[in-house]
Amino acid sequence: MTPQTYRTSDVAAAAGVHPNTVRRYEAWGLLSSIPRTPSGYRIFTQDHIDQMCLARQALQWPYPGGKEPVLELVRQAAQGAFGRAMELSHQVLANVRAERASAEAAVTFLEKWATGQPIADTAEPMRIGHAAQTLRVTTDQLRNWDRNGLLDVPRDPRNGYRLYGATELGRARVIHVLCQAGYSVMAILRMVLALDTGQESDLRAALDSPPPEEDAGNVADRWLSTLAVEEQRALDVIAMLQASIARSSRESLDDDNAPHSDP
Protein backbone atom coordinates (compact mmCIF):
# COMPACT_ATOMS: atom_id res chain seq x y z
CA MET A 1 0.00 0.00 0.00
CA THR A 2 1.34 3.42 -0.92
CA PRO A 3 2.02 5.44 2.24
CA GLN A 4 0.12 8.67 2.74
CA THR A 5 2.09 11.82 2.02
CA TYR A 6 1.89 15.29 3.51
CA ARG A 7 2.81 18.89 2.73
CA THR A 8 5.04 21.17 4.78
CA SER A 9 1.95 22.89 6.21
CA ASP A 10 0.56 19.52 7.33
CA VAL A 11 3.73 18.67 9.23
CA ALA A 12 3.84 22.14 10.76
CA ALA A 13 0.24 21.85 11.93
CA ALA A 14 0.86 18.41 13.45
CA ALA A 15 3.83 19.75 15.43
CA GLY A 16 2.22 23.10 16.27
CA VAL A 17 4.89 25.22 14.57
CA HIS A 18 5.30 27.57 11.62
CA PRO A 19 6.19 25.93 8.28
CA ASN A 20 9.52 27.78 8.33
CA THR A 21 10.41 25.85 11.49
CA VAL A 22 9.97 22.59 9.60
CA ARG A 23 12.34 23.86 6.92
CA ARG A 24 14.89 24.90 9.53
CA TYR A 25 14.76 21.50 11.23
CA GLU A 26 15.37 19.88 7.84
CA ALA A 27 18.39 22.14 7.29
CA TRP A 28 19.76 21.29 10.74
CA GLY A 29 19.60 17.55 10.06
CA LEU A 30 16.81 16.88 12.56
CA LEU A 31 14.57 15.25 9.93
CA SER A 32 15.34 12.39 7.58
CA SER A 33 15.84 13.00 3.87
CA ILE A 34 12.76 14.58 2.29
CA PRO A 35 12.07 13.73 -1.36
CA ARG A 36 10.58 16.35 -3.69
CA THR A 37 8.18 16.44 -6.57
CA PRO A 38 9.48 17.36 -10.03
CA SER A 39 8.28 20.89 -9.32
CA GLY A 40 10.28 21.06 -6.07
CA TYR A 41 7.59 20.54 -3.42
CA ARG A 42 8.61 18.54 -0.36
CA ILE A 43 6.96 15.14 0.11
CA PHE A 44 6.60 14.21 3.78
CA THR A 45 5.49 10.90 5.32
CA GLN A 46 4.27 9.90 8.78
CA ASP A 47 7.92 9.32 9.70
CA HIS A 48 8.65 13.01 9.22
CA ILE A 49 5.66 14.01 11.34
CA ASP A 50 6.87 11.70 14.12
CA GLN A 51 10.38 13.14 13.84
CA MET A 52 9.14 16.71 13.94
CA CYS A 53 6.93 16.10 16.96
CA LEU A 54 9.78 14.31 18.74
CA ALA A 55 12.17 17.19 18.03
CA ARG A 56 9.69 19.76 19.31
CA GLN A 57 9.09 17.77 22.48
CA ALA A 58 12.76 17.15 23.19
CA LEU A 59 14.32 20.47 22.17
CA GLN A 60 12.94 22.77 24.83
CA TRP A 61 15.16 24.74 27.18
CA PRO A 62 16.42 24.17 29.83
CA TYR A 63 18.56 21.09 29.29
CA PRO A 64 19.57 19.64 32.68
CA GLY A 65 22.79 17.77 32.10
CA GLY A 66 23.46 19.47 28.74
CA LYS A 67 21.86 19.96 25.35
CA GLU A 68 24.12 17.75 23.23
CA PRO A 69 22.61 14.36 24.25
CA VAL A 70 19.16 15.74 23.42
CA LEU A 71 20.26 16.97 19.99
CA GLU A 72 21.98 13.71 19.26
CA LEU A 73 18.99 11.56 20.18
CA VAL A 74 16.81 13.62 17.80
CA ARG A 75 19.39 13.20 15.01
CA GLN A 76 19.68 9.47 15.62
CA ALA A 77 15.90 9.03 15.56
CA ALA A 78 15.76 10.94 12.26
CA GLN A 79 18.28 8.51 10.81
CA GLY A 80 16.24 5.52 11.96
CA ALA A 81 18.84 4.53 14.57
CA PHE A 82 16.18 3.93 17.20
CA GLY A 83 18.38 1.80 19.44
CA ARG A 84 20.93 4.58 19.86
CA ALA A 85 18.17 7.20 20.18
CA MET A 86 16.54 5.19 22.96
CA GLU A 87 19.88 4.80 24.73
CA LEU A 88 20.40 8.57 24.59
CA SER A 89 16.86 9.28 25.77
CA HIS A 90 17.50 7.22 28.90
CA GLN A 91 20.77 9.11 29.40
CA VAL A 92 18.83 12.39 29.22
CA LEU A 93 16.32 11.06 31.76
CA ALA A 94 19.17 10.03 34.06
CA ASN A 95 20.71 13.52 33.75
CA VAL A 96 17.42 15.16 34.72
CA ARG A 97 16.93 12.81 37.65
CA ALA A 98 20.49 13.47 38.87
CA GLU A 99 19.82 17.22 38.79
CA ARG A 100 16.55 16.68 40.63
CA ALA A 101 18.25 14.54 43.27
CA SER A 102 20.85 17.28 43.77
CA ALA A 103 18.12 19.91 44.14
CA GLU A 104 16.25 17.75 46.66
CA ALA A 105 19.43 17.05 48.63
CA ALA A 106 20.11 20.78 48.84
CA VAL A 107 16.63 21.36 50.26
CA THR A 108 17.21 18.61 52.84
CA PHE A 109 20.50 20.27 53.82
CA LEU A 110 18.67 23.61 54.13
CA GLU A 111 15.88 22.16 56.27
CA LYS A 112 18.31 20.51 58.69
CA TRP A 113 20.24 23.75 59.09
CA ALA A 114 17.06 25.80 59.55
CA THR A 115 15.97 23.58 62.45
CA GLY A 116 19.22 24.16 64.30
CA GLN A 117 21.63 21.49 63.08
CA PRO A 118 25.11 23.09 63.21
CA ILE A 119 27.00 23.00 59.91
CA ALA A 120 29.80 25.43 60.69
CA ASP A 121 32.05 25.66 63.71
CA THR A 122 34.57 28.41 64.29
CA ALA A 123 36.03 29.64 67.53
CA GLU A 124 36.95 33.05 66.19
CA PRO A 125 35.31 35.21 63.51
CA MET A 126 37.32 35.22 60.31
CA ARG A 127 37.88 37.74 57.53
CA ILE A 128 36.50 37.28 54.05
CA GLY A 129 39.60 35.67 52.55
CA HIS A 130 39.74 32.98 55.22
CA ALA A 131 35.96 32.48 54.99
CA ALA A 132 36.12 32.05 51.21
CA GLN A 133 38.90 29.49 51.58
CA THR A 134 36.94 27.60 54.23
CA LEU A 135 33.79 27.49 52.09
CA ARG A 136 35.68 26.87 48.81
CA VAL A 137 34.11 29.90 47.16
CA THR A 138 35.55 33.18 45.93
CA THR A 139 35.60 36.42 47.85
CA ASP A 140 33.56 37.95 45.00
CA GLN A 141 30.84 35.37 45.58
CA LEU A 142 30.68 36.25 49.26
CA ARG A 143 30.53 39.96 48.50
CA ASN A 144 27.77 39.41 45.92
CA TRP A 145 25.70 37.40 48.38
CA ASP A 146 26.11 40.24 50.88
CA ARG A 147 25.14 42.90 48.33
CA ASN A 148 22.11 40.88 47.17
CA GLY A 149 20.74 40.53 50.69
CA LEU A 150 21.48 36.82 51.14
CA LEU A 151 23.96 37.50 53.94
CA ASP A 152 24.22 40.16 56.60
CA VAL A 153 27.83 40.05 57.73
CA PRO A 154 28.91 42.16 60.73
CA ARG A 155 32.00 44.29 60.42
CA ASP A 156 34.92 44.91 62.68
CA PRO A 157 34.24 48.33 64.24
CA ARG A 158 37.96 49.06 64.26
CA ASN A 159 38.60 48.75 60.52
CA GLY A 160 35.30 47.92 58.74
CA TYR A 161 36.38 44.44 57.61
CA ARG A 162 33.67 41.78 57.31
CA LEU A 163 33.83 39.19 60.07
CA TYR A 164 32.35 35.73 59.45
CA GLY A 165 31.35 33.81 62.55
CA ALA A 166 29.69 30.41 62.82
CA THR A 167 26.25 31.89 61.97
CA GLU A 168 27.44 33.64 58.82
CA LEU A 169 29.54 30.67 57.69
CA GLY A 170 26.63 28.27 58.17
CA ARG A 171 24.30 30.48 56.18
CA ALA A 172 26.90 30.99 53.45
CA ARG A 173 27.44 27.23 53.21
CA VAL A 174 23.69 26.67 52.71
CA ILE A 175 23.60 29.39 50.03
CA HIS A 176 26.56 27.81 48.26
CA VAL A 177 24.92 24.37 48.25
CA LEU A 178 21.69 25.81 46.85
CA CYS A 179 23.56 27.73 44.14
CA GLN A 180 25.46 24.61 43.12
CA ALA A 181 22.17 22.69 42.93
CA GLY A 182 20.79 25.18 40.39
CA TYR A 183 18.61 27.53 42.43
CA SER A 184 18.62 31.17 41.37
CA VAL A 185 19.68 34.05 43.59
CA MET A 186 16.06 35.28 43.58
CA ALA A 187 14.78 31.90 44.80
CA ILE A 188 17.41 31.78 47.57
CA LEU A 189 16.58 35.36 48.56
CA ARG A 190 12.90 34.40 48.93
CA MET A 191 13.97 31.55 51.18
CA VAL A 192 16.28 33.61 53.44
CA LEU A 193 13.69 36.38 53.76
CA ALA A 194 11.15 33.77 54.89
CA LEU A 195 13.72 32.36 57.29
CA ASP A 196 14.52 35.81 58.70
CA THR A 197 10.83 36.38 59.47
CA GLY A 198 10.81 33.25 61.65
CA GLN A 199 9.67 30.62 59.14
CA GLU A 200 11.56 27.38 59.75
CA SER A 201 9.26 24.92 57.98
CA ASP A 202 8.15 24.62 54.36
CA LEU A 203 11.21 26.51 53.12
CA ARG A 204 10.95 24.30 50.03
CA ALA A 205 7.81 26.23 49.06
CA ALA A 206 9.61 29.55 49.55
CA LEU A 207 12.34 28.38 47.17
CA ASP A 208 9.91 27.16 44.54
CA SER A 209 6.89 29.49 44.70
CA PRO A 210 7.40 33.05 43.46
CA PRO A 211 4.66 35.39 44.69
CA PRO A 212 2.39 36.96 42.04
CA GLU A 213 4.15 40.31 42.25
CA GLU A 214 7.58 38.79 41.57
CA ASP A 215 8.80 38.75 37.99
CA ALA A 216 10.08 35.16 37.92
CA GLY A 217 11.64 35.13 34.50
CA ASN A 218 14.22 32.40 35.15
CA VAL A 219 13.45 28.67 35.32
CA ALA A 220 15.82 28.49 38.30
CA ASP A 221 13.41 30.76 40.19
CA ARG A 222 11.20 27.66 40.53
CA TRP A 223 13.83 25.00 40.01
CA LEU A 224 12.11 22.04 41.70
CA SER A 225 8.98 22.52 39.58
CA THR A 226 11.08 22.97 36.46
CA LEU A 227 12.93 19.71 37.06
CA ALA A 228 9.65 17.86 37.61
CA VAL A 229 8.44 19.15 34.22
CA GLU A 230 11.74 18.18 32.57
CA GLU A 231 11.56 14.66 33.98
CA GLN A 232 8.07 14.22 32.53
CA ARG A 233 9.29 15.62 29.20
CA ALA A 234 12.09 13.03 29.12
CA LEU A 235 9.58 10.26 29.85
CA ASP A 236 7.32 11.58 27.06
CA VAL A 237 10.24 11.49 24.61
CA ILE A 238 10.89 7.85 25.52
CA ALA A 239 7.20 7.05 24.95
CA MET A 240 7.29 8.78 21.54
CA LEU A 241 10.34 6.77 20.52
CA GLN A 242 8.65 3.57 21.64
CA ALA A 243 5.59 4.45 19.53
CA SER A 244 7.80 5.14 16.49
CA ILE A 245 9.60 1.83 16.96
CA ALA A 246 6.29 -0.03 17.24
CA ARG A 247 4.89 1.62 14.11
CA SER A 248 8.08 0.89 12.17
CA SER A 249 7.89 -2.76 13.22
CA ARG A 250 4.25 -3.02 12.15
CA GLU A 251 5.01 -1.50 8.76
CA SER A 252 7.91 -3.89 8.23
CA LEU A 253 5.67 -6.82 9.13
CA ASP A 254 2.97 -5.57 6.75
CA ASP A 255 5.53 -5.31 3.96
CA ASP A 256 6.72 -8.86 4.62
CA ASN A 257 3.15 -10.16 4.53
CA ALA A 258 2.09 -8.23 1.45
CA PRO A 259 1.38 -10.40 -1.61
CA HIS A 260 4.17 -10.39 -4.20
CA SER A 261 3.67 -10.89 -7.90
CA ASP A 262 5.69 -13.58 -9.65
CA PRO A 263 8.73 -12.30 -11.57
Give the burial class of 16: count Cβ atoms within 10 A of its Cβ; 0-12 exposed, 13-18 middle, 19 or more buried. exposed
Residue 201, in any domain of the structure: yes
- How far the first Cα of the chain sits from its last, in Å, is 19
52-88 per-residue burial string, b: 16 or more CB within 10 A, e: under 16: bbbbbbbbeebbbbeeebbbebbbbbbeeebeebbeb
Return the percentage of the chain with pLDDT > 70, whole number. Answer: 92
pLDDT for residue 121: 66
- Domain residues for 23? 1-58
> Which distant-in-sequence residues (6+ apart) come within 8 Å of 157 by Cβ?
none
Q: Do 48 and 106 reside in the same domain of the chain?
A: no
CA distance 171 to 120: 9
- CA angle 90/85/220 to nearest 5° reads 50
How confident is the model over 187-210, as a mean pLDDT? 88
Give the CATH number of the domain where residue 168 resides: 1.10.1660.10
Q: Do 113 and 43 reside in the same domain of the chain?
A: no
pLDDT > 90? residue 3:
no
Residue 247, in any domain of the structure: no
Residue 47, in any domain of the structure: yes
pLDDT > 60? residue 262:
no
Residue 176, in any domain of the structure: yes
Residue 26, in any domain of the structure: yes
222-253 per-residue burial string, b: 16 or more CB within 10 A, e: under 16: bbbebbeebbebbeebbebbeebeeeeeeeee
Q: Confidence band (pLDDT; 50, 70, 90) for 256?
A: low
Residue 68, in any domain of the structure: no
Residue 147, in any domain of the structure: yes
The residue among 136, 101, 143 whose CA lies nearest residue 120 is: 136
Residue 91, in any domain of the structure: no
pLDDT in tens, 119-167: 766 668 999 999 999 999 999 999 999 999 999 999 999 999 999 998 8
- CA angle 111/114/118 to nearest 5° reads 105
Q: Do 104 and 211 reside in the same domain of the chain?
A: yes
How big is the chain, counted in residues? Answer: 263
pLDDT > 90? residue 258:
no
> Which distant-in-sequence residues (6+ apart) come within 8 Å of 66 by Cβ?
95
CA distance 51 to 6: 14
pLDDT > 80? residue 255:
no
Q: For the chain, how many structural domains are there in total? A: 2
pLDDT > 90? residue 35:
yes
pLDDT in tens, 205-250: 989 988 776 665 678 899 999 999 999 999 999 999 999 999 888 8
